[in-house]
Amino acid sequence: MSRIRFTRRLPAAVAAAGLALAVAACGGESSNSDGTTVAAADELKPNADLTKQSLQITVWDGYTPEELPARVKQKLKVQGLKVALHDTNEVAMQKLTASGDSGIDVAFVSGQYAQALNAMGLLEPIHPELIPNLANLYPEATQLSYDKGNKYSVPYTWGTTGICYRTDLVKKKPTSWNDLLKPPAWAEKKVTLMTTERWLALPALKSLGFSVNTDKDEEIQKAKDLLTAAKPHLLAFDDTTFGDRLKSGEAVMVEAWDGWCPTNDPKGNIAFEVPTEGSDLWVDTMVIMKSSKNKEAAHALINYILDPEIHSWAAENINYKVPNKAAMERLQIPKGSLLETKPAELLDGESLVDLGQSSLKYTRLSQDIKAG
C-alpha cells in the first residue's frame, strides 16, 4: 500500500482554538447528554436537484477508487467531485478548522476526530432518510462509543491494533503486549512500537490493565515508565515501514494496525495477533461539514459509497475491513485472512474517543519518550 498511514493524534489544541469560530459559523447548536456540542440540523430536500450541486472531499491518498469522481458525476449527476488529499488526521483537522468554510463537503477522518469536530459544532447531523444504504451496515456499526447511532458520522473502515510478527523468526508466538515491551533476548533490537501518541501508549496501558482512553495522571505516568524502560530494547518507533522491516527480517515483532500487517505476503510467514490483554477498535468515518452548501449531494455521495459494490473496494484493495455487511458478503475471503474478523470480535476492542484537553497528556508522554 503506497498510502502513508495517517497520524491519529487528537486535536485538542486545534479544537480549543477553533471553537469560538465554529460556533459563530454554525448559526446554532444544542448539546448531547454528555455535554458535547451538536450543530442544529439543516432542512434538506430529499428530491433536491443535484445537477446544481458540486462536491469536494478530503481523504487519505489511495483510500477511495481513482475513478470515484467520474463515477459519482455519472451516477449522481452532480456538477463534479474534487478530491483533496491529507496524509494525517492532524492535517485534515487544520484544513477543516482554519476558517468558517473550508470548502470541504465530506471529510474522511478517524472516529475520535469526528467526535472533536462535532463537539466544535462543525458537523451537519446525518439525515438517515437521505442515506437508505445505511441499512447495509452491521448492527454493531451503530454502537461505536464516539458516536452511538451514527448521529453525525458514517463508518467507512474499521479494525484493531496488535502484534504483527514473522512466524519463522520468533522462537515463541507473541501473545502479550509485554512481548514487545519486554522482548526476550532473541528479539533484542528487533521490535518496533508506533510513534503516534495514542498508539505509542496503547501497549503499555493495556499491559497494565488500564483503559486506552484514561486521563488519570498516575496511570499515564505508569505507562510512561514502562515505555521508558522498553525504549533501549527497541529497534525503532515506526508507523509506516514496520511491514518492510518484517519482510526484510530487520524486525521480528512490531506493533501494527491489522490492515497494515502484511499477512498476504507471498512467503506466508507473517501473522497478526491481538494480545490477551486486549486492544483498541479504530474507525475511519465520513462526515458532512456544517458549512457545506451541497448537503443533499454530500448525503447522496455517502449513500453511493455504502453501495455494496463500491464499499467492498476498500476491503479488496487496501485490506481493511468495512462495517458494511452487504459489501463484506460480496468478497471471496481467503481462509485465515484478517478480513475474516467478525464485527463482534472487533467490538471486543476499546473504541478510541476524543479526550479533549487531556490529549495533551499523551502529547507530553510521546515527546518525553522519543526525546529521552
* 118: its cell numbers: 462535532
Looking at residue 196, its pLDDT comes to 85
Tens digits of residue pLDDT in 179-212: 999 999 999 999 999 998 899 999 999 999 999 9
Report the alpha-carbon distance of residue 230 to residue 141 in Å, rounded. Answer: 36
Q: Percent of the chain beyond pLDDT 70?
A: 89
More confident residue, 85 or 2: 85
Please say if the pLDDT value at position 15 is more than 70: no
| Residue range 265-294: mean pLDDT, rounded | 96
**230 in Cβ contact with 189 (< 8 Å):** no
Task: Please list, in sequence order, all residues whose beta carbon lies within 8 angstroms of the beta carbon of residue 159, skipping any fewer than 6 positions away.
Answer: 257, 258, 259, 281, 282, 320, 321, 338, 341, 346
Query: Percent helix, strand, coil in the chain (nearest 5)?
Result: 40, 15, 40
Question: HSE (CB half, 13 Å, CA atoms) of 134?
Answer: 19
Please say if the pLDDT value at position 256 is more than 50: yes
Looking at residue 336, its pLDDT comes to 80
Task: Please state, as a whole number, how many other Cβ atoms lie within 10 Å of the Cβ of residue 175.
Answer: 13
Please say if the pLDDT value at position 308 is more than 60: yes
**302 in Cβ contact with 106 (< 8 Å):** yes
* 346: its cell numbers: 472487533
Cβ-in-10-Å burial (0-12, 13-18, 19+) of 248 comes to: exposed
* 1: confidence class by pLDDT, cuts 50, 70, 90: very low
Please say if the pLDDT value at position 34 is more than 70: no
| Residue range 258-278: mean pLDDT, rounded | 93
| Residue range 317-321: mean pLDDT, rounded | 91
Residue 237 φ/ψ region, left for φ over 0, alpha for ψ in the -120 to 50 degree band, beta for the rest: beta
Looking at residue 139, its pLDDT comes to 97
Task: Please list, in sequence order, all residues whose beta carbon lies within 8 angstroms of the beta carbon of residue 324, skipping any fewer than 6 positions away.
Answer: 136, 137, 138, 141, 306, 308, 311, 312
| Residue range 23-38: mean pLDDT, rounded | 42
* 262: its cell numbers: 502484511
Q: Percent of the chain beyond pLDDT 90?
A: 80
* 43: confidence class by pLDDT, cuts 50, 70, 90: confident
Report the alpha-carbon distance of residue 108 to residue 68 in Å, rounded. Answer: 14
Q: What angle do CA 125, 130, 135 make, to 5 degrees?
A: 95
* 310: confidence class by pLDDT, cuts 50, 70, 90: very high
Please say if the pLDDT value at position 46 is more than 50: yes
Q: Which of 12-16, 20-24, 325-329 has the lowest mean pLDDT?
A: 20-24
Relative to beta strand 154-159, strand 106-110 is unpaired
Task: Please state, as a whole number, how many other Cβ atoms lie within 10 Å of the Cβ of residue 364.
Answer: 12
Report the alpha-carbon distance of residue 137 to residue 190 in Å, rounded. Answer: 40
**3 in Cβ contact with 60 (< 8 Å):** yes
More confident residue, 56 or 45: 56
Please say if the pLDDT value at position 16 is more than 70: no
**What is the average pLDDT value for the chain, to the nearest integer?**
89
Report the alpha-carbon distance of residue 33 to residue 113 in Å, rounded. Answer: 19
Q: Which residues of 71-107 are buried (b: 16+ CB within 10 A; e: fewer)?
A: ebeeebebeebebeebebbbebbebbbeeeebebbbb
* 59: confidence class by pLDDT, cuts 50, 70, 90: very high
Please say if the pLDDT value at position 84 is more than 70: yes
Model pTM greater than 0.75?
yes
More confident residue, 341 or 5: 341
Q: What angle do CA 103, 104, 109 make, to 5 degrees?
A: 150
Instruction: List the end-to-end C-alpha distance of the chain, in Å, as a whole number.
Output: 32
| Residue range 38-56: mean pLDDT, rounded | 86
| Residue range 121-134: mean pLDDT, rounded | 98
More confident residue, 37 or 335: 335
The alpha carbon of 147 is separated from its chain's Cα centroid by a whole number of angstroms, namely 13
